[in-house]
Amino acid sequence: MGKIKTIEYFRVLPRWLFVKITDEHGNYGWGEATLEGHSQAVEGCLDAMVQRFVGYEADNIELLWQTAHRHSFYRGGPVLMSALAGIDIALWDLLSRRLKLPLHVLLGGAVRHKIKVYSWIGGDRPRDVEAAAKERHAQGFRAVKMNATEDVDWLDSPSALDTSVERCRVVKALGMDVGLDFHGRLHKPMAKQLAKALEPHKPLFIEEPLLSEHYEGIKQLSGFTTIPIALGERLYSRWDVKRFLHDTSIDVLQPDISHCGGISEIRRIASMAEAYDVALAPHCPLGPIALAACMQVAMCTPNFTIQEMGLTIHYNTEAGAYDINNYIKDKRVWDVREGYVEGLSGVGLGIEVDEEEVRSVAKEANAWAPKGFVGPDGSIREW
């Protein structure tokens, strides 16, 4: 046992927010509180948590989690839950490092020895997907994800969807599985058409076919298509998730470990999903700490199915040289072979953070700004 001595956070390129917690005996752990495009808001929340939780017993992870959530009165939402996630992940890392065990051992032990993964192709305005898919295949991936469309109007010409279907066909022809991320960009009139058009090509899943707030539309769409429906990155707690499970409107749940309160909450969400025969495929186009935390959860979660990896995702390459191989000392942990990454076997999260690089980059890293689309008439479109 040891009391929390310091809680530090580091804004780093390309768009990530890392958290380090150290106890009074010098034990430490790393977490990730990334909320893309809203770093300053999460940093403000972390400032308040630093004042509140320095001096708490570092091992009492659940007590701290419940205090942060329930004594906040205004609870949940992306900012609070992302800040809490960073602290929660760091505390689990600290505890398992202190005990010299891989984190998944503390969560019940391994149910698998390797983890199925996919990566991104195509960018915000998807293009050149054939060459990109071939490159991913050469890297060891057997599944990829891409944005289904560019920006689309509320009711657009049906021809706006033709290239989406063609891109799916091209990637499938290479022998790879492909998930299509609608990204909440489409409204119901277009989402219905695209789901129907994609069905003969058998995508792995369609993600956020509508924004999560349109739960009744997602329920309707789920009865309209045989393609598995996935969502969850914009659901921040088990309370956000429960309606979709009760409605039986989704097949794959994609909570983001850095958005939904960390390891403690994603484990509860996974157990809820298992009871409804829903698979877990955590959202993670983020940094290496969040990815390592997801991998630890995957190792011990029966209904886990596949893990997103942000390796050279367009958000990273646009920022220059920073990717998931940065900020860690052993980059081999992310080696992909025949669609799988070997389970992380090191203590804690299973990675060693390069603190010198983190502190150096954090000195000058600017916050990443949210993106957006504007239609030809000047109206705001979903991104």
Query: Residue 17 carries which DSSP code?
Result: E
User: What distance in Å separates the CA atoms of residue 187 and residue 179, rounded to the nearest whole number?
Assistant: 19
- Give, in order, the Cα–Cα distances in Å from 249 to each of 45, 100, 205: 33, 41, 13
The verdict on whether 113 is a catalytic residue reads no
User: What distance in Å separates the CA atoms of residue 383 and residue 367, rounded to the nearest whole number?
Assistant: 19
Amino acid, single-letter form, for residue 116:
K
User: What distance in Å separates the CA atoms of residue 159 and residue 182, rounded to the nearest whole number?
Assistant: 16
Catalytic-role residue among 38, 183, 201, 259: 183
Catalytic-role residue among 38, 201, 283, 314: 283
Q: Which residues contact 115 (CB under 8 A, 6 or more apart)?
A: 295, 298, 299, 304, 307, 340, 341, 342, 343
The number of residues in the chain equals 383
- Strands, E assignment, the chain: 4-12, 16-23, 28-32, 114-120, 143-147, 177-181, 205-207, 229-231, 252-253, 279-280, 307-309, 340-342, 373-374, 380-381
Which residue has 């076919």 as its token pair? 209
Q: Which residues contact 135 (CB under 8 A, 6 or more apart)?
A: none
382 CB-contact burial (10 Å; exposed 0-12 / middle 13-18 / buried 19+): middle
Do 239 and 268 touch, CB atoms closer than 8 A? no
The verdict on whether 104 is a catalytic residue reads no
User: What distance in Å separates the CA atoms of residue 354 and residue 350, rounded to the nearest whole number?
Assistant: 13
Catalytic residues: 183, 283
